[in-house]
């Protein structure tokens, strides 16, 4: 079979979306049928901290084109022209768009080379963001609906709930996020016999809701709360029992995560978070807000608890404190679910088949 050229386009090139694209590229790098290019925006905060040489094969072409996260007609038009020129020059067989802004600009730019098959992964629809007004969410939903109807393309949802929304908006498929489970085999997992510590991992940003994390920590001063990461809302973590590690490389972060008893995710919204999947693979019970993304990984009262309020988190933690068998049982179920649903190699084989059937 002839080689195909896959072009990824993403305005967001940090945190979960970056990990998703990097993971796809790591998998497809093993397939000599696929050539890969990536157009990304270098102006998102945190992009300058990334290690492209370490994270991507030397055969992956990285092309910076500035895109604006917020809507700006002047800047968006400039970005669109650059994207159109790049698409004309590359002439890819497949264009895979990531996150909302690229989902719009990328579908417009794809018309510069209509032979390309276009796919779009929302990684958490913007209209589900809880930090936006109802008016903005309604506006973003209309954009998603009509850009799909007018400009086409197929949505590749990365999680079950995202897929349910995608089916209502247009042509769609589901290929779950996943991790390379074998990469975690060497990490020593501390058995959780008693709830002494609760950990999370990620950027301290509005999406991750550090205020809620802090409020939960204040209720349980005898429990050590650890945030692996850093971010612009670090000042909101004021409880005396919270430790902020700052950014660690992935190996150190996962080894530290493995030493704690429970993983917590207080996000306002998610796509399908790699951090939860990694914590599950490391046999951690999960406490998470009951939002899209989180609820695709956590089965309530099977491998953790899904929570709608601070009271729910308090009740869940009290149960884990008084019933240590939950720690063991939930941890075991987390690993089973990770293996059955979120094995990257198995899931991304499906993605490659989607690419190859263009």
> Tens of pLDDT along 197-236?
999 999 999 999 999 999 999 999 999 999 999 999 999 9
Range from 47-56, 97-106, 176-185 carrying the lowest mean pLDDT: 47-56
pLDDT band for 358, please (50, 70, 90 cuts). low
Residue 292 has a pLDDT of 87
Which tens digits make up the pLDDT trace of 133-174? 889 889 889 888 888 888 889 999 999 999 999 999 999 999
SS3 labels along the chain: CCCEEEEEEECCCCHHHHHHHHHHHHHHCCCCCEEEEEEECCCCCCHHHCCHHHHCCCCCEEEECCCCCCCCHHHHHHHHHHHHHHHHHHCCCEEEEEHHHHHHHHHHHHCCCCCCEEEEECCCCHHHCCCCCHHHHHHHHHHHHHHHHHHCCEEEECCHHHHHHHHHHCCEEECCCCECHHHHCCCCCCCCCCCCEEEEECCCCHHHCHHHHHHHHHHCCCCEEEEEECCCCHHHCCCCCEEEEECCCHHHHHHHHHCCCEEEECCCCCCCCHHHHHHHHCCCCEEEECCCCHHHHCCECCCEEEECCHHHHHHHHHHHHHCHHHHHHHHHHHHHHHHHHCEHHHHHHHHHHHHHCC
């Amino acid at each position: 079979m002839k080689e195909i050229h896959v072009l990824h386009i993403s305005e967001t090139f940090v945190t979960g979306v970056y990990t998703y694209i990097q993971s796809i590229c790591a998998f497809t790098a093993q397939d000599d049928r696929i050539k890969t290019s990536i157009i990304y925006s270098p102006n998102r905060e945190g992009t300058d901290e990334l290690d492209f040489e370490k994270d991507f094969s030397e055969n992956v072409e990285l092309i910076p084109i500035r895109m604006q996260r917020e809507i700006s007609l002047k800047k968006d038009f400039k970005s669109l022209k650059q994207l159109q020129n790049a698409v004309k020059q590359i002439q890819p067989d497949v264009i895979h768009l990531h996150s909302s802004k690229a989902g719009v600009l990328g579908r417009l730019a794809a018309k510069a080379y209509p032979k390309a098959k276009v796919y779009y992964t929302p990684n958490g629809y913007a209209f589900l963001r809880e930090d936006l007004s109802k008016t903005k969410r309604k506006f973003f939903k209309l954009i998603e609906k009509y850009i799909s109807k007018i400009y086409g393309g197929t949505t590749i949802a990365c999680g079950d709930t995202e897929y349910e929304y995608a089916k209502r908006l247009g042509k769609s498929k589901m290929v779950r996020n996943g991790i390379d489970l074998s990469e975690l085999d060497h990490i020593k997992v501390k058995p959780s016999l008693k709830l002494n510590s609760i950990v999370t991992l990620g950027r301290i940003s509005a999406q991750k809701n550090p205020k809620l994390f802090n409020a939960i920590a204040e209720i349980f001063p005898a429990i050590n709360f650890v945030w692996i990461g850093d971010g612009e809302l670090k000042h909101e973590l004021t409880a005396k029992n919270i430790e902020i590690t700052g950014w660690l490389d992935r190996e150190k972060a996962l080894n530290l995560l493995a030493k704690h008893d429970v993983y917590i995710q207080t996000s306002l919204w998610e796509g399908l978070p790699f951090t939860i999947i990694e914590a599950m693979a490391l046999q951690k019970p999960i406490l998470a807000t009951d939002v899209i993304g989180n609820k695709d990984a956590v089965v309530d009262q099977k491998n953790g608890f899904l929570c709608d309020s601070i009271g729910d988190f308090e009740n869940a933690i009290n149960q884990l404190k008084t019933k240590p068998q939950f720690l063991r049982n939930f941890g075991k179920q987390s690993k089973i679910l990770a293996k059955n649903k979120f094995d990257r190699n198995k899931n991304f084989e499906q993605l490659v088949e989607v690419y190859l059937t263009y």
